Structure 1
């Protein structure tokens, strides 16, 4: 049985949820960003307890089917932008349609209706947060960051960065981490 969880954005989140499941004695097959696949259907009581414990950790069990799909979209984007080591140039509309089994127009309209922004804008916001992270780490040049995130040029990255943050990448570097936004707040 699949359970959908809101606000899972990193490997640490997955480990925290796995630890919770183990402490609750819940057998599971797999935990990924935003999803738990349990071995057995949970009783209403166990599900309610799990929901309460998840809330204490800043996560939320999602029952609404549309909201589950929105979280799946977000988690696929977060996984690709922030966690996949091999960044291949992909068409996100085809990627999401294939991954989620729905036509992209449906996904796009639903996402915009529920979130108030387009999927494309959400992808840009995630990429800019990744750029911020990489700038703060100060291990890569702006050209390497642009290449890693699939930007066609440093100029395009810089323009998009300034449009979203109001700062140039070099100015951001001077003010640093205080300008980062937690991924679950995007």
Structure 2
């Protein structure tokens, strides 16, 4: 019988050299285990599948070069805390899901050794965070820890306000903040001005 599926293709050619993998519209209910052995993988795109939970995200730490993870257009209801183990991540796209809250430790990605007090944790690498079109009603003030953040897409959620701490992201400007105008208008005028500066 003919072999099909990602597991079997490993014998056909050296998939371990793969840098970018897109598995969109494959009716996946979980992240295929074969992905975790792709040591050189830099980008993983799982758009338009049937993912409800991504507990196995912990195994992605074996992909030591992973910088971009796109889980958009699925049915994910929560992101497990152990996403913080993905220390190389720079872009996380979890838009168009069913998220109601995010793990607060998401904002401590790329942390210092975990025995230190939480206050010292700061994200070193997240540059792009796409959270649009979910059911989030709250954005943690700890977003201010993301020192490299240049793009935050939070549009299409159920937020009443934005945390003032977004002003603490030194690289974030209006052009990179994608949010409803009504929410932006609720920010203090001095913060609006700061974000609008070129």
Tell me whether the two structures share a fold, i.e. TM-score over 0.5. no
Q: TM (normalized to structure 1)? A: 0.30
Greater per-residue helix proportion:
1
